[in-house]
């Protein structure tokens, strides 16, 4: 009786308070709303705009498409030979689809855990070991750059013409990658017109190259 009534009354008051607070916050947000460049995609949004959907919406010929892939492959003791190319082969369908549409594919990936340091070789080093295996799988040459953002990388991206492939350097050479740093995300976004997420094994991580739907570009999609 009395306890139930008190509990019910308390619950109603709490609900009313929460609703009032939400309305107040909504009013403040609406009056001072500043649009952000970052695209926060729900699973439903990804389902609606996969790479095929992107190709239907825009003409990709000659456009730069930044593709977040997972090139974190194991190496032999020589620090050069890829011992398992499963992850390399998994990116081929999306990359070839984009190339067939005339797009320039800019591949972006982390490699190991360098923790913000530039390491030349090994499982936490540069992405050089994957270049030749990827060229064989894609059937085309790959331009490898030694950074993943900045003026020199932007200049290299601007030189891409049609159906070219460029591989960026290990994103984890920047400490900001694992901290979802907006500066790094923006730097990646300057390289391309569109962004495609094709590394679903790492999509759950709140990193600069993955979180929030990826770097700010004209339109984003999933592979």
Residue pair 85/47 in contact by the 8 Å Cβ criterion? no
pLDDT of res. 29: 47
For residues 85 and 40, which has the higher predicted lDDT (pLDDT)? 85
What length does the chain have?
Answer: 223
What are the residues whose beta carbons fall under 8 Å from the beta carbon of 182, sequence distance 6 or more? 208
For the stretch 68-102, pLDDT in tens is 999 999 999 999 999 999 999 999 999 999 999 99
pLDDT classification of 205: cutoffs 50, 70, 90: low
Percent of the chain topping pLDDT 70:
67
- The model scores a pTM over 0.75: no
Vertex 112, ends 145 and 89: CA angle to 5°? 70
- Concatenating the DSSP letter of every residue in 13-75 gives HHHHHHHHHHHHHHHHHHHT----S-----HHHHHHSBHHHHHHHS--TT-EEEEE------B
For residues 51 and 76, which has the higher predicted lDDT (pLDDT)? 76
């Amino acid at each position: 009786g009395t306890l139930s009534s008190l509990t019910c009354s308390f619950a109603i008051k709490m609900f009313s308070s929460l609703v009032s607070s939400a309305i107040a916050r909504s009013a403040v947000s609406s009056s001072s709303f500043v649009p952000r460049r970052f695209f926060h995609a729900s699973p439903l949004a990804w389902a609606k705009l996969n790479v095929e959907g992107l190709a239907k919406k825009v003409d990709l010929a000659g456009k730069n498409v930044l593709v977040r892939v997972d090139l974190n492959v194991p190496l032999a003791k020589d620090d050069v030979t890829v011992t398992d190319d499963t992850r390399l082969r998994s990116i081929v369908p999306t990359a070839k689809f984009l190339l067939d549409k005339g797009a320039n594919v800019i591949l972006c990936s982390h490699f190991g855990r360098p923790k913000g340091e530039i390491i030349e070789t090994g499982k936490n080093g540069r992405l050089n070991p994957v270049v030749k295996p990827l060229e064989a799988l894609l059937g085309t040459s790959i331009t490898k750059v030694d950074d993943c953002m900045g003026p020199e990388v932007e200049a290299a991206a601007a030189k891409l013409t049609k159906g070219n492939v460029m591989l960026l350097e290990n994103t984890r050479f920047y400490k900001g990658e694992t901290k979802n740093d907006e500066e790094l995300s923006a730097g990646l976004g300057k390289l391309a017109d569109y962004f495609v997420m094709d590394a679903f094994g790492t999509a759950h991580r709140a990193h600069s190259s993955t979180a929030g739907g990826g770097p700010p570009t004209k339109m984003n999609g999933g592979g």
